[in-house]
Amino acid sequence: MHASGDSNDMQAAGAHGLSLAPGWASDARMIRERIPGPVLVTGAAGFIGSHVAERLLSAGVDVAGIDNFDPMYDAGIKRRLSRRLEAIPGTSGAGALRMWEGDLNDHRGLADFLNVARVRGAIHLAAKAGVRPSIADPVGYVNANIAATSALMAQAQRLGWDRFVMASSSSVYGNALTVPFSEEQDVSAPISPYAATKRACELLAHTHWHLTKMPTACLRFFTVYGPRQRPDLAIQQFMVRIARGEGLTLFGEGTSRDYTYIDDIVEGVLASYIQIPAFGYRIWNLGGENPVSLDDMVGTIMQVVGRKVEIQRRGMQPGDVMRTWADLRRVKSELGYGPRTTFADGVRRQWEWNLEEGLAKA
């Protein structure tokens, strides 16, 4: 392990012979052989958590899942995802699942569950996500993100886990003028409570690593999309409205986002879980490397759905950033990460999922 914290030590993963080629995570055997279970996945009934847990379980890795079914968006969606996860252990070669419906801030309940689950490490994805709602509920975000992450780290230390991987966000870059955003640039000017809580979690993660020497990774996700995307996120909202022939209101002309397809994110999460012991503490960007303007995003969705609707334009919303764009040099060289899904393909797959689920019906 390197004692250099987040310094620029590029040889670590290579030195351990762990380099992974893009696409490796579609091989179940590779996952099973490299990830010792059980693995804790928090936020397991959410968008990204359900995909990560599903990939692990299907590959034969045992998973312990936690989710409090926060009603920030329709909890029925999370119930369906949770039931889907619970069905996987019945399939051949799958791992075992132990789910706890509980809140990370319920310290007694959390300790009891973890005493029984006996996990080796955590992929911590639970959070109140989203920029705009955080402005209305900053205290809720501090509790669900900062306090809950701190509570989980205390358990990790008590139980002596061998690694800790957690979700951060591209929002920590705020309105930084230097693009693409690199892990080494200053991130001391967040512009929403959500972004501030995610940066605070990164700082807690550094302290956790410093005091315990438990390998700890922070992953800065850049707007994730694909099947099961949260209904409050723009692509999913627009897709449903366009399919129903309803008009769109666009906020923030000239803005752009580096969208990242869910399968690329899952691969990056698993690669970081495997390789973080070679680094100690590390921050990695997980992006799509291809910023898309708001107009192009809407145009692509209309093309895929096969319908045009009326558009009204408004100014920027408070807390929203102008652009995001991930610099992937570090994560490519250290984790072998490489996004493989084009925006048009990803949007098409999200649309197919909407059709299968009947979500786009008026």
Ligand X SMILES: NC(=O)c1ccc[n+]([C@@H]2O[C@H](COP(=O)([O-])OP(=O)(O)OC[C@H]3O[C@@H](n4cnc5c(N)ncnc54)[C@H](O)[C@@H]3O)[C@@H](O)[C@H]2O)c1
Q: Which of 73, 141, 173, 194 is catalytic?
A: 194
Residue type, 130: G
CB of 279 to ligand X, least distance (A): 20
Rule CB under 6 A: say whether 334 interacts with ligand X: no
Closest listed residue to residue 174, CA positions, set 194, 154, 200: 194
Rule CB under 6 A: say whether 167 interacts with ligand X: yes
- 12/123 with CB nearer ligand X: 123
Contacts with 65 (C-beta within 8 Å, 6 or more apart), sequence order = 40, 41, 42, 44, 45, 49, 53, 82, 85, 97, 98, 99, 100
Nearest residue to ligand X by CB is 46
**216 three-state secondary structure:** strand
Rule CB under 6 A: say whether 165 interacts with ligand X: no
Among residues 37, 59, 65, 68, which is the contact residue for ligand X, using CB under 6 A?
A: 68
Q: What is the DSSP string of 249-282?
A: EEESTT-EE--EEHHHHHHHHHHHHHHGGGTSEE
CB of 42 to ligand X, least distance (A): 6
CB of 283 to ligand X, least distance (A): 13
First to last CA, the chain: 55
Rule CB under 6 A: say whether 94 interacts with ligand X: no
Residue 87 phi/psi, 5-degree rounding, is: -80, -20
CB of 17 to ligand X, least distance (A): 30
Rule CB under 6 A: say whether 64 interacts with ligand X: no
- 125/204 with CB nearer ligand X: 125
- Distance from C-alpha of 206 to C-alpha of 138, rounded to nearest angstrom: 23
Catalytic residue IDs:
194
Give the residues lining the site for ligand X (CB under 6 A). Answer: 43, 45-49, 66-70, 78, 103-105, 125-129, 144, 148, 167, 169, 221, 223-224, 230
